[in-house]
Structure 1
Amino acid sequence: MVTRIVPWVSGAVYGIVLLAGLYYVFAGLGPANTARLAGFVAGIGALFVLEAVERRVARMPVAFLAGRLVLFFAVAALDESGLSRVLFVLVPFAAYLTFGRAAGLVLGGLCLALLVGGFAVWVPGWYTDTSYVSDVLMFTLGLVLALAMADVAVRERRAALRVAELSAEAERNRLARDIHDSLGHHLTAVSIQLEKVAAFADRDPAVAGQALADARRSVGHALEDVRTSVGTLRGGGRSLVGALTELGVALDVHGEEPALDPATVTTLYRAAQEAVTNARRHGGAAQVRVSVTFGAVTSLVVTDDGRGFDTGEPRSGFGLLSLRERAALVGGTVTVDSEPGTGTRVTVTVP
């Protein structure tokens, strides 16, 4: 992972150095040398150009860092005020972002050593002059802040990547639930009807023909459900009651349906679909009824007359787990009431 130098940071530093150098000359704080001033301004301009080019080119980070370092030396040599040394705090900053913590710390230490070494060579006894000592302290503080800012930027980038990974994982889980709840329901119905066709083909052709027609209808519902799911992903939607009528079971509606958000509609519809599938596949139910009540909360109840089961026993099926996960995503709850031989009642409540 490569995290580039934050554009506004480098631009702000370049601008401050440029203004400081110009102020030093035009305020008469030092001797004015037109050639050096022109070179100084040109060097700052070249740094801005380098930053703009680097933002457009994703390759050669070493070359850009080296080019930036050369320009820093040139600008510092041409600057009459000597304030341009602050540019060197960007070296470990950029190295940290591009090559990692070790490179940033090493280059930060090297820049500080060069500053102290330069003072030792050209300014004998500098350590007794408060202005030079202050320069070293301020430069050290600048290095610390630059490295800290780089560390924050790297951590933020890693956190963003982690969030993206978790979002992708959540989307995969959601797609798995959709495939299981939607296609699983319809394929179960088709499988049951085709078994019925095989069983009654010779004994009762009329029953077999009806079962085949039901299987075709289930295939049509599957295709329609796929289209609806795609439409929901694209921003479309449908009412909950309209979706529940497609399940082909008895439906009771109490109250007027409010403007539910698509996530809630999908959650309740998939919950009903999963409960109906379980009633037919595992419970052997002859009758399944769906009841939905709209009010302060929306409550969906699916009851069947199947064989039921002991809710205290571990359930290995993916369906109930999927149902609870889906309801939790919209702040809902799921309760399952059942006993062997008494059927099953599944209640889903969402705010």
Structure 2
Amino acid sequence: MTRPVPWIPSVLYGAVLLGGLYYAAIGPGPGVRSAGFAGLLCALTVLDAREWPVASGAVFAPGAVFALRAVLLGAVAALDPSGLSRVLFVLLPFLAFFVWGRTVSVVLGAGCVAALAGVFTVRVPHWEVRAEYISDLLMFALGVVLAIAMAAVAVREQQARARLEGTLAQVAELSAARERNRLARDIHDSLGHHLTAIGIQLEKAEAFASLDAAGSAQAVAHARWSANRALDEVRASVRTLGPEAESGPAGPGRALTDLVHHLDGGSGRITLEVSGTERRPLLVLYRAAQEGLTNACRHSGATQIHVDVAYEEQGAVLRVADNGGGLGTAEEGFGLAGLRERLRLAGGSVELRSSATGTVLTVRVPW
């Protein structure tokens, strides 16, 4: 149920009270009827100012409150010798609009006009040929129409505000979900990759500890480099906590060289080839290389991994190819799903071809 406009009844009550007291002052003078008239208007003001419970089974349901208001209005009209209080009956269709809607409001408004005509018929002989009563009836009917129109506008405004609040809540929820997804992608692509690299290098260091002390120490150094890089990227994310930058850690060209060097550890398992001229750094290209290398090193069992970066006229193309056993029946994980989302936002594309002889990941990023 929509809420009525609270100030309109109060303004009408105040205007009628002042008009009635002024009429009493210049006419018959204040008396018991004037006191009762003022007291009932105050009671109506309190009634409309209070929020009555509307739940099922409540003592003061909307219909009961509305009926009480109608009785009080009738009592006010009976105690008002000036006749000004009849204007208050426009509140009945006005307030009914908020409780029961347009149809009930229009029917009730027509009933109020008909009731006023009936009162004139009973109390004023031949009122239908007296201009002042015809004018009063027409003005009252116009007031009813305006009250219903005002209620319709108020209800539409409240409904529009409710829809707007709902839309804003949905936008906030979607924005929060998008930010959660972005943070999840960043954690997976950055921290997840570096942890994988650290694990690979530490396994190498452990395997060669008794056979090749220098190679084992080099693997530990590469693991330390990955740990420091992970820490740097976490600090950068904490500092910004905003939309991800479009530049890589140091520009993909040099960053990819460092990435391959420390991940490969001098074994010659991973090779890198770069052609063309880099126009501007692309973080998404670096993240794609991280994802491709992480999957190839961890899951494929490949002995050879080749990374090819070509800077072309329309954009950059990255290929990560390995000679591993392929994906088989495994489904794509969160990393590839996050990579596809990154490329979608960047206007690029991802192509993944896998077989028993190897996997090729191809990423295209427009300038």
Which TM bucket (shorter chain)? 0.5 to 0.7
Q: How does 1:63-212 map to 2 (within 5 A)?
A: 63-197=64-198, 199-200=200-201, 202-205=203-206, 207=219, 210-211=222-223
CA distance, structure 1, for counterparts of residue 135 and residue 176 of structure 2: 61
The SS at the match of 1:306 is strand
- 1:44 maps onto 2:41 in alignment: yes
- The answer as to whether partners of 1:283 and 1:306 remain within 8 angstroms in 2 is no
How far residue 336 of structure 1 moved from its aligned partner, in angstroms, is 6.2
- The answer as to whether partners of 2:343 and 2:349 remain within 8 angstroms in 1 is no
- The answer as to whether partners of 1:21 and 1:81 remain within 8 angstroms in 2 is yes
Residue identity matched to 1:47: L
CA distance, structure 2, for counterparts of residue 247 and residue 146 of structure 1: 64
How far residue 17 of structure 1 moved from its aligned partner, in angstroms, is 0.8
CA distance, structure 2, for counterparts of residue 26 and residue 317 of structure 1: 83
Which ranges of structure 1 fall in alignment gaps of 5 or more residues?
233-239, 252-270, 289-302, 309-315, 324-333
How far residue 177 of structure 1 moved from its aligned partner, in angstroms, is 2.2
The SS at the match of 1:154 is helix
TM (norm. structure 2) is: 0.63
CA distance, structure 1, for counterparts of residue 119 and residue 227 of structure 2: 87
> Equivalent residue for 2:256?
none
- 1:306 maps onto 2:306 in alignment: no
- The answer as to whether partners of 1:193 and 1:212 remain within 8 angstroms in 2 is no
CA distance, structure 2, for counterparts of residue 287 and residue 153 of structure 1: 65
CA distance, structure 2, for counterparts of residue 121 and residue 166 of structure 1: 55
CA distance, structure 1, for counterparts of residue 284 and residue 97 of structure 2: 52
The SS at the match of 2:318 is coil
> Equivalent residue for 2:26?
27
How far residue 212 of structure 1 moved from its aligned partner, in angstroms, is 7.6
CA distance, structure 2, for counterparts of residue 219 and residue 70 of structure 1: 75
How far residue 88 of structure 1 moved from its aligned partner, in angstroms, is 0.6
Residue identity matched to 1:193: H
- The answer as to whether partners of 1:221 and 1:246 remain within 8 angstroms in 2 is no
The SS at the match of 1:88 is helix
Residue identity matched to 2:287: T
The SS at the match of 1:81 is coil
The SS at the match of 1:317 is helix
> Equivalent residue for 1:298?
none
Aligned in 2, Cα 1:317/1:100: closer, same or farther, shift over 3 Å?
A: farther
Which ranges of structure 2 fall in alignment gaps of 5 or more residues?
55-59, 207-215, 253-280, 295-305, 310-314, 321-338, 351-359
Residue identity matched to 1:26: A
How far residue 138 of structure 1 moved from its aligned partner, in angstroms, is 0.8
CA distance, structure 1, for counterparts of residue 11 and residue 155 of structure 2: 20
How far residue 10 of structure 1 moved from its aligned partner, in angstroms, is 0.9
The SS at the match of 2:50 is helix
> Equivalent residue for 1:214?
226
Aligned in 2, Cα 1:182/1:5: closer, same or farther, shift over 3 Å?
A: same
Percent of paired sites with the same residue: 37
Aligned in 2, Cα 1:64/1:244: closer, same or farther, shift over 3 Å?
A: same
